[in-house]
Chains A and B, each alone.
Chain A
Amino acid sequence: MSDAARSPQPLMACQECDLLQRIPPLPVGGRARCARCGFLLAARPRDPLELPLVLTLTALIVFVVANAMPLMDLAAVGRYASTTILGGARQMWLDGERITAMIVVFCAVIAPALYLLLMLAVLLAARRPPLPHWSGELLRWGLHMQPWAMYDVMLLGILVALIKIAQLATVDPGVGLFAMGLLALLLPAISVTFDAREVWKRVEWKHGDDLAVAAFADGNYVERGR
């Protein structure tokens, strides 16, 4: 960015230790860590908006497959059974563990769906700057959903369940399980290739329509605007 090269880097505070510092312009693939606590302040991925968009679209398609197709099939003494993600939660609900069922649905379906849809909305909006200020709100919610989307944990959980059941019956992994494995890779890939700073650079400031708004402090502590 040419304007970024001209203007001094804005002052920022480390999220984990509040130390004030400036992040130097990063080369592609570069990372900036806090001078005091070592927290990862910023990273500059190669393609911070287009690649995550492609990955998010892919993940949404895989998400549909993972939810629609059976995770595994079971055969024992001439009887067959199979389950999907929602089927697992449904059985929990029917057996009276309703809160647990809701937690499972949240971690397995709602949180990843919200994360992917909100990221999609933000990344599509980012193609036509300036972004409307509500896209900041969407990104905030999307990032909040991230730790609750637990495909990696769920995959390991299903593996343990498979090995336990394999003692009693024949179990075959289904298409849904492979889709889930793919999601366990795609979700972290989106967050690694995405650079939120690129979105914040392009977002339209909310500044002005709220009386309780803080004043912007730039690198020289000069108040701008109000």
Chain B
Amino acid sequence: MSGAVVTGAQAGLVSCETCKLLTRPVNAEHAGHCPRCGATLEVRRVQSLQRTWALIIAAAICYIPANLLPVMVSNTFATSDAETIMGGVVYLYSSGSWPLALIVLVASVMVPLGKLLALGYLLVSVQRGMPGSHHERARLFRIVVFIGRWSMLDVFVATFTVALVQLQPLMSVLPGAGVLFFAAVVVLTMLAAESFDPRLIWDVKNNMEKQDG
């Protein structure tokens, strides 16, 4: 192995994303199938940047109604009370459970927004070939993947509150239109993180080293 060859792609090899077997692709366009597990091989995830962009733009659009529309509407005899995501955080805080208010604030407001910004930054940095710490970018991607599912929190809060508080005509809670958009944001950003290929982060570094050398 010569010193110049570092990555699988540079050595003309493709790694199976399922079983990690290293193989020689059939040809440059179509790597073929893994001889061991039969999975479709891709040197880099197909159209990773376009797909990730499409998914995070869709998620960003859904993020607006997700925060503006109510997620829950509680009805009693006389009153009808619509509650947005932020409203839920404020309610938890004012009722004295500030640790839970903080958890919901982080999981429902900051995490989805942070994911959109982080994936957007990663996409731009890969497309522009921006210099910078690749280790930091790799860590950022791992954080996005790890925390992604926790935003589903508010969808479950709404589901089980709605299911339980059904004491018609005294008191009932109905889901609001916001909950659908909110669930859509979570699912779309999770799919976006899955379609982004982290190897592209390091390809930027490889290309820069090639230009230097």
Measured CB to CB, the residues of A under 8 A from B are 10-13, 15-20, 36-39, 71-72, 74, 76-77, 79, 81-83, 87-92, 95-97, 99-101, 103-104, 107, 133, 136-137, 139-140, 143, 147-148, 150, 153-154, 156-161, 163-165, 167-169, 171, 196-197, 200, 203, 205-208, 210, 212-217, 221, 223, 225
Q: Cα distance A153–B33 when bound, in Å?
A: 36
Tell me whether A147 and B190 are in contact in the complex, defined as CB-CB below 8 angstroms, given that A153-B150, A212-B33, A214-B35 are known contacts.
yes
Tell me whether A100 and B183 are in contact in the complex, defined as CB-CB below 8 angstroms, given that A13-B8, A37-B135, A95-B174 are known contacts.
yes
From the candidates B8, B23, B175, name the one contacting A18 in the complex (CB within 8 A): B8
Q: Does B161 contact A (CB under 8 A)?
A: yes
From the candidates B33, B92, B187, name the one contacting A213 in the complex (CB within 8 A): B33
Tell me whether A20 and B13 are in contact in the complex, defined as CB-CB below 8 angstroms, given that A81-B166, A171-B164 are known contacts.
yes
- Whether A103 lies near B8 (C-beta < 8 A) is no
- Whether A10 lies near B22 (C-beta < 8 A) is yes
- Whether B153 lies near A157 (C-beta < 8 A) is yes
**Chain A contacts for B88, CB-based, 8 A:** 164
A interface footprint on B63-84 (CB within 8 Å = 1, 0 otherwise): 0000000000000000000000
- Whether B8 lies near A95 (C-beta < 8 A) is no
Q: Does B46 contact A (CB under 8 A)?
A: no
Report the minimum CB–CB distance from B195 to chain A (whole Å).
13
Q: Cα distance A89–B190 when bound, in Å?
A: 21
Q: Cα distance A210–B190 when bound, in Å?
A: 33
**Chain A contacts for B37, CB-based, 8 A:** 133, 136-137, 139-140, 200, 203, 206
**Chain B contacts for A156, CB-based, 8 A:** 103, 107, 150, 153, 156
- Whether B6 lies near A20 (C-beta < 8 A) is yes
Q: Which of B141, B167, B171 has the most CB of A within 10 A?
A: B167
Q: Does B104 contact A (CB under 8 A)?
A: yes
Q: Cα distance A143–B180 when bound, in Å?
A: 26
- In the complex, residue of chain A having the shortest beta-carbon distance to the beta carbon of B11: A20
What band does the interface of chain B fall in when counting residues whose beta carbon is under 8 Å from A? 35 or more
Tell me whether A38 and B135 are in contact in the complex, defined as CB-CB below 8 angstroms, given that A20-B5, A160-B104, A214-B23 are known contacts.
yes
From the candidates A36, A38, A39, A214, name the one contacting B25 in the complex (CB within 8 A): A214
A interface, by DSSP: helix, strand, loop or mixed?
A: mixed
Q: Cα distance A192–B6 when bound, in Å?
A: 30
- In the complex, residue of chain A having the shortest beta-carbon distance to the beta carbon of B161: A161
Report the minimum CB–CB distance from B105 to chain A (whole Å).
11
Report the minimum CB–CB distance from B137 to chain A (whole Å).
10
Chain B 168-209 residues near chain A, CB threshold 8 A: 170-171, 174-175, 179-180, 183-184, 187, 190, 198-199, 201-203
- Whether B175 lies near A100 (C-beta < 8 A) is yes
- In the complex, residue of chain A having the shortest beta-carbon distance to the beta carbon of B104: A160
- In the complex, residue of chain B having the shortest beta-carbon distance to the beta carbon of A84: B163
